[in-house]
């Protein structure tokens, strides 16, 4: 678990402060990475709703269109990884410009996902909690530790 690693007490919100050293020089442990607490999913929903309202774009933002837009943005994320071979955690060797492009494309996916959930009346943060509870039931840590088999392959 990521939370057990590091131990510097410092967190990395992905800002430029961690540019050249993705590892602590003494321990070679991966540096702890966490998100900023804000904006929340509800903040993102509200900001995108304002963006859409101000442009009179709700007429285009039906669920199906938002889904297609989101999948298109997933494709743009894929383009950044295409033909590179395997990419290690932390994206060693990627330029700042490539990292910023990735941040943009992942954000586009997130923005459309949040608006899609809103337009489908899915309370996304609560739905994530419910789904993660189900995942824990389906994949008890004691049973599946270190194995990536799908749940249908376990015969306790």
Ligand X SMILES: Nc1ccn([C@H]2C[C@H](O)[C@@H](COP(=O)(O)OP(=O)(O)OP(=O)(O)O)O2)c(=O)n1
| CB contact at 8 A, 16 and 75 | no
Nearer Cβ to ligand X (55/143) = 55
Nearer Cβ to ligand X (12/76) = 76
Nearer Cβ to ligand X (76/123) = 76
Burial of 116 (0-12, 13-18, 19+ CB in 10 A): buried
At residue 20, what are phi and psi to the nearest 5 degrees? -100, -15
Nearer Cβ to ligand X (108/123) = 108
The DSSP line for 133-152 is HHHHHHS-HHHHTT----GG
**Cβ 66 to ligand X, closest distance in Å?**
8
Binding residues for ligand X, rule: CB under 6 A, are 57, 60, 76, 108, 111
**Cβ 53 to ligand X, closest distance in Å?**
11
**Cβ 54 to ligand X, closest distance in Å?**
11
């Amino acid at each position: 678990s990521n939370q057990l690693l590091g131990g510097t007490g410092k967190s990395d919100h992905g800002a430029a402060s961690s540019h050249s050293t993705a590892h602590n020089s003494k321990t070679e442990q991966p540096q702890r990475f966490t998100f900023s607490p804000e904006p929340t999913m509800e903040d993102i929903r509200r900001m995108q709703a304002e963006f859409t309202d101000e442009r009179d774009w709700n007429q285009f933002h039906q669920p199906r269109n938002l889904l297609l837009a989101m999948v298109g943005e997933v494709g743009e994320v894929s383009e950044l990884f295409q033909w590179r071979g395997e990419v290690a955690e932390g994206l060693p060797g990627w330029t700042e410009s490539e990292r910023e492009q990735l941040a943009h494309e992942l954000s586009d996916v997130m923005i459309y996902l949040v608006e899609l959930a809103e337009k489908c009346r899915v309370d996304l943060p609560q739905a994530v909690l419910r789904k993660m509870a189900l995942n824990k039931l389906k994949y008890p840590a004691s049973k599946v530790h270190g194995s990536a088999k799908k749940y249908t392959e376990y015969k306790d």
